A and B are shown apart, each in its own frame.
Chain A
């Protein structure tokens, strides 16, 4: 039993390390990778897996944001303004969920992430891309706030982190440089994940035996990822981000088709 526990803890640590590293590079929480591994790989009940992954997302966000803040990559003022819209959207999404056709929304979101992935890949092939590391004048502020609210709503409705939408909103719509967008997204996702995580923690839906090794892996992974991010050329970061968007696309179509629920992977909404 002790051998099993140590082997399982090591596997969870490595999973957390990979998710933390990718999350720090792409400005996402990593829950999209962690929940299926815990649920399918370790048989952790879906709700408990979500609770554990939220703690990991907070650790990843805080760990990488600490580094990005130190390097001046995070736009704190923009982040806090967009956070208001995101949290409001998340609350609205949570309240509206029982009345909305969630599977249809998943399919729609899958199409959107597919389009965003294609856009990122096309941008990665652009001959020259500037590597600005500070926000200039922000454009389309009202639209950016509206889309951040939508990102919060989508994350609450579909059970994903909002980073997949926040990064494109800041980069494509508001003209924030790609590195600053991913760093600011990383910085922002911590508070929304903490709100949900505290709720799961209060309900006792955070398995400490799963969470501890995974979060330690995430902490190390996000520290390594945050050190690497400023050194990686923007086109390569875009490819990493596009890859994660394609994983999200696959998961959204899989869940929209009801496959996860049929296999006992998630409770019906």
Chain B
């Protein structure tokens, strides 16, 4: 189980890193990467076509999203793996964590 989880986290981090590196190189070469002044946060609409075009903001946005979603995927995987190993309490705990996190995001409960 631990090796599978390690592989999942490595894949998420490597995917995010590739997108961030590609976005950073393109943005730096065009002078768009100016910290503190924002690169603009494009919406999710049309993200895929812009990714294919090599739009740096879209690449960076996708990279950040992949990084942020990696632990969420890890919790889903833990729940599934613990259920297979008949650790019902652990599997339920993972699902409860997932539910609480989703509720917190949807209801904007996180304190600044």
Contacts and interface: CB of A to CB of B under 8 A. Distances in A.
A212 B27 CA distance: 10
B52 interface: no
A191 interface: yes
Nearest to A157: B111
Given A194-B101, A209-B36, A50 B41 contact: no
B64 to A, nearest CB: 6
Which applies to chain A's interface (DSSP): helix, strand, loop or mixed?
helix
Contacts of A190: 70-71, 74
B35 A66 contact: no
B21 interface: yes
Interface of A: 1-2, 4-6, 8-9, 12, 42-44, 47, 50, 55, 58-59, 61-63, 65-67, 69-70, 72, 74, 76-77, 80-81, 83-84, 87-88, 90-91, 93-95, 97, 156-157, 159, 190-199, 201-202, 204, 206-213, 215-216, 219, 267
A232 B19 CA distance: 33
B86 interface: no
B20 A216 contact: yes
Contacts, number: 198
A176 to B, nearest CB: 16
Contacts of B74: 62, 190-191
A58 B112 contact: no
Interface of B: 1-3, 5-7, 9-10, 12-13, 16-17, 20-21, 23-24, 27-28, 31-41, 57, 60-61, 63-65, 67-72, 74-75, 78, 82, 87, 89-90, 93-94, 96-97, 100-101, 103-105, 108-112
Contacts of A94: 104, 109-111
A211 B70 contact: no
Nearest to A72: B2
Nearest to B21: A216
B18 to A, nearest CB: 11
A62 B9 contact: yes
Contacts of B17: 216, 219
